[in-house]
Amino acid sequence: MKPPRSVENELILGLVSISDRASRGEYEDKGIPTLEAWCRKAITTPLKIHKRLIPDERFDIEKTLRELVDIIGCDLILTTGGTGPARRDVTPEATLAVATREMPGFGEQMRAISGHFVPTAILSRQVGVLRETPDHAALILNLPGQPKAIAETLEGLKDKDGNPSVNGIFSAVPYCIDLIGGPYIETNEEVVKAFRPKSARKHAEKPQEAAVPPAPPAVEKKPVRQEESPKTTVSEAAPRSEEKQAPEVPPAKPSFDARDLLVVRPRTGGDPELAVIWLHGMGVDNTDFAPFPDEILGFDGPVCRFILPNAPMREMSMHPGYPLRAWYDVPGRSIDENEDARGIRESAKRVAQLIDEIEAQGVPRSRIVLGGFSQGAAISLFAGLRMERPIGGVAALSGYLPLAGRLFSEATPGGRRTPIFMAHGEFDSVVPPVIAARSAEVISQVDPAMIARTYPMDHELCQEEMHDLAAFLRNIAERAAS
C-alpha cells in the first residue's frame, strides 16, 4: 500500500522516543518534543508526524517500527534513546531486526560528530537502516538521547563564521529518501542544507509559470488521495449524489475531511465482513489503532475494514494553551463532573453522519460497528444508544457513558436494539472503574443484553480482552450473514 499523503511531496515522519521511565510517566519525555521542534524548523516540505513513546522493550520497538513503516507508511523514522551499552539499551538490535539493509555511514558520522564533544561517543551504538516492503521503503535512524546531542547530530558542526565544518547526518537524508522512492524533501538552509548531486536537483519554476495550468493544485491533490489512500472512499458517495441537486441547494458537508480519515484493512484475509468505525482516545490520533485489523484477525475475529477518524484539535480546560486531539473537553475535576455536553453531542452527531455515509456506499447497517478507546469509547456509547436505526454493534474499551443521567429519556428504539460490548480495566487510573461500572449499570437498564467485562489491567489493552472483542465482532459478522 502506498503511503496516504494529504498533499504532493508530503513527508510522513515517525518520531519514536524509547524510555522505560518516561513511558511510565515518571518524568516528562523530552525526546519527541526536541525531535519535532527541530524537524519543523529544518524541513520546509509539508509534514505529517506520527509520534510514539514506548519502553525499552525489544518487542515493542520492533512492533512500533513495523507499524510505522508497513501500516502508517512513514518515509523517515527518527528514534531517540536506548543506544548505549547498558543491558536495557536494545534499540539498535530492534532496528536491525526489522531492517532489510543497513546504512552504516549514518552511525559512523553520528559517532564522529559526538566525538568532538565527549570521548564516550565511542560507546554509542546508533545505526541507520532501510526497511523495504514491495511498494514502499523507509529510512530509520537511531539518534542520541540527549536533546542537545540530537540537534548537533542532525545539523553538524559550524565554525565561528557559521559555515559547516562537520556535516550533520540530515544533509544526506533528503537524497537518500529520493533514492528509495520517497517525497522530495526541502530544508531551511539556515538550519541544515540538503545535499544532492546536480542531476538530482529539481529546477525552480519560473514565477510566470506558476499561474499557468496544466492543472491547479486542488485538482492535482484529489487523484493522489483517491489512488494512493482509501480515505476518500468513506464520504465520496455524497458529492456524487449531490451533483444532481438544483444549483441553489448547498451540498451537504461531509462528516470528516478526507485528510482526517484513515482506512485500514488486514494485510490478509479477503474481503471485509464488517466496517468498523473506531475512535481514538484523547491526546493521540487516528494512527493509534492502525494495527487493529491485523490484530483482530489474529485473535480469530472477522476481516474488518477499519475507518479511523481524527478528533478535532481543541484546547482543554485541564491544559490551557496546549491544543490536542479530543472528542470533547473535560472541564471538571473528574471526567463525569461539569461535562462538556455541547462537545459530546457535536462529536456524536458527526459520528452518526459518518455511519450514514458508509451506509450510503452500500454497506448494510447490520455490518457497521462503532467502537473506540477511552474518550472514543465514551462517544461510541453515547452515539450508539441514540441511533434512529440499530447498527451491528458498539464496542467500548476503557471508557464510560457521558451524560449518563440523560440516557433514559434520550435512548432510542434503535439504540436499545444495538448490541453493546463494554470492557474495562480493574485498575484503570484514567477512567475510574467505579464510573465505568456505574455506566454499565445504567446502560443495562435500556439494553439488558449488553456484555460488560473487566480485566486485571490499567488503562490499556490485554490479550483476554482482545480475544473477547474479536469474538463479539465475529458474532456480529455471523449474524449479519445469516
> What CATH number is associated with residue 336?
3.40.50.1820
Is there a domain that residue 418 lies in?
yes
User: CA 351 to CA 345: how far, in whole Å?
Assistant: 10
Is there a domain that residue 102 lies in?
yes
What pLDDT, on a 0 to 100 scale, did the predictor assign at position 232? 37
Is there a domain that residue 169 lies in?
yes
| Across 25-39, 251-265, 333-347, 360-374, least confident range | 251-265
Is there a domain that residue 364 lies in?
yes
Within 10 A of 234 (CB to CB), how many other CB atoms are there? 24
Taking residues 220-238, what's their average pLDDT? 35
- Is residue 268 domain-shared with residue 135, that is, in the same domain? no
Report the percentage of the chain scoring pLDDT > 70: 89
What pLDDT, on a 0 to 100 scale, did the predictor assign at position 203? 52
Using only C-alpha atoms, what is the Rg of the chain?
Answer: 24
Return all residues near 234 (Cβ < 8 A) that are at least 6 apart. 256, 258, 261, 263, 307, 354, 357, 358, 361
What pLDDT, on a 0 to 100 scale, did the predictor assign at position 259? 85
User: CA 9 to CA 12: how far, in whole Å?
Assistant: 9
> What CATH number is associated with residue 20?
3.40.980.10
Statement: the pTM of the whole predicted model exceeds 0.85 = no
Q: How many domains does the chain have?
A: 2
Which of 200, 220, 243 is the C-terminal boundary of a domain? 200
40-68 pLDDT, tens digit each:
999 999 999 999 999 999 989 999 999 89
Is there a domain that residue 241 lies in?
no
Which of 152, 182, 200 is the C-terminal boundary of a domain? 200
Give the max Cα distance, the chain: 76
Is there a domain that residue 253 lies in?
no
259-290 pLDDT, tens digit each:
889 999 998 878 899 999 999 999 889 998 99
What is the residue range of 45's domain?
Answer: 11-200
- Is residue 271 domain-shared with residue 193, that is, in the same domain? no
What pLDDT, on a 0 to 100 scale, did the predictor assign at position 304? 96
Is there a domain that residue 110 lies in?
yes
What pLDDT, on a 0 to 100 scale, did the predictor assign at position 258? 84
Taking residues 243-255, what's their average pLDDT? 55
Residue-averaged pLDDT of the chain:
86
User: CA 4 to CA 7: how far, in whole Å?
Assistant: 9
| Across 80-94, 99-113, 205-219, least confident range | 205-219
The answer to whether the CB of 413 falls within 8 A of the CB of 446 is no
Of 176, 194, 196, 177, nearest to 186 (Cα)? 194
Taking residues 229-241, what's their average pLDDT? 37
Is there a domain that residue 235 lies in?
no
* Torsion 222-224-229-233 (CA) sign: positive
The set of catalytic residues is 374, 428, 459
